[in-house]
Amino acid sequence: MVGWAIALHGGAGDIPVNLPVERRVPREAALRHCLDLGVSSLKSGKHPLDVVELVVRELENHPNFNAGVGSVLTTQGTVEMEACIMDGKTKRCGAVSGLTSVVNPISLARLVMEKTPHIYLAFDGAEAFAREQGVETVESSHFITPENIERLKQAKEANRVQIDYTIPVQKDLTGNVPIPNSDSQLGTVGCVAVDRHGNLASATSTGGLVNKMVGRIGDTPIIGSGTYANHLCAVSATGKGEAIICGTVARDVAALMEYKGMSLAEAAGYVVDRSVARGTCGLVAVSATGEVTMPFNTTGMFRACAAEDGHYEVGIWP
């Protein structure tokens, strides 16, 4: 029997080290709360699949993260949420994209996994499936918060598609000058967990990138990019989706363990250092033997982890 372990993230990016207290503290508190929730669920014998779904739902319900109610907006001011869940032992998985009304996308991803012959549903079909399954939905306007309208406005003014934490840069007479904007800091969420029997699961949920094109799909719902789990490890990534997709980040961690015999930390470190450009990626991962690792090549990553051996950590910067 091995020890249980859990890790979660609330997004990686260029998180300014002078992040205002009122932005930092609620997120740290949410990470700690979600970590404790995950730990007690694992300890009570819940399957890791249930644990990662539960934790990600909690993060989706938190307005300070870029998923569920905190989801950022597309270039047209609309919301298109995506999520993915995967079970390590069976490799069963479910994914959704283009959601406009579903309160907890991660649970719809799980229903795709459990109730359909498919893996991935998107846009109208995914919304119709949500209604058929009776999951909680709300008017799309529920997600279009003043904070997210402001974020979109700033991204448009800076003419950029924005990773969650990027401070918009606007030109003045002296060149590129960052405009301090503490409102642009929020991030994709994810959770990975392993129980004492080596059952592994991964879940990731996001609103994507600020000012993304309508219809854009990122790494989060793509199996092997933002989310992956097998019999060796479970991985959830965050950062620039396009870079993570090209790097097949989550699957590469598992592949390096499987084919090269690397440890979890070696494999995850290798991928974050070499498979993706600096400033684009972070991930959380656990192995079947209860190891945890949370590497990132961005300024910071909102993250938290705990393991049966007593390791407990909540952090933002290196």
Please, are residues 140 and 79 in contact by the beta-carbon 8 Å criterion? yes
Give the shortest CB-206-to-ligand ASP separation in angstroms.
5
Please, are residues 249 and 157 in contact by the beta-carbon 8 Å criterion? no
Nearer to ligand ASP, 39 or 305 (CB): 305
d(CA 1, CA 24): 37
Q: Give me the 144-183 binding string for ligand ASP, x by CB under 6 A, dash otherwise.
A: -------------------xx-------------------
> Environment class of residue 137 by beta-carbon count within 10 Å: exposed (0-12), middle (13-18) or buried (19+)?
middle
3-class state of residue 148 by DSSP: helix
- Residue 241 sits in the site that holds ligand ASP (CB under 6 A): yes
Nearer to ligand ASP, 188 or 230 (CB): 188
Please, are residues 230 and 267 in contact by the beta-carbon 8 Å criterion? no
The binder of ligand ASP chosen from 220, 236, 287, 299 (CB under 6 A): 220
Q: Is 188 a catalytic residue?
A: yes
3-class state of residue 121 by DSSP: strand
- Residue 185 sits in the site that holds ligand ASP (CB under 6 A): no
- Residue 71 sits in the site that holds ligand ASP (CB under 6 A): no
- Residue 236 sits in the site that holds ligand ASP (CB under 6 A): no
- Residue 98 sits in the site that holds ligand ASP (CB under 6 A): no
Q: Look up residue 154 and give its two tokens.
A: 């700033």
Q: Which residues, including other chains, have CB under 8 Å from residue 50's CB and lie 6 or more apart?
A: 41
d(CA 301, CA 142): 27
- Residue 105 sits in the site that holds ligand ASP (CB under 6 A): no
Catalytic residue among 100, 188, 227, 280: 188
Q: Look up residue 265 and give its two tokens.
A: 């930390």
φ, ψ of residue 232 in degrees (nearest 5) = -100, -35
Give the shortest CB-275-to-ligand ASP separation in angstroms.
15
Give the shortest CB-164-to-ligand ASP separation in angstroms.
4
The residues carrying an active-site annotation are 188
Instruction: Give the interface with ligand ASP as residue ranges (CB under 6 A).
Output: 11, 66, 163-164, 187-188, 206, 208-209, 218-220, 226, 238-241, 244
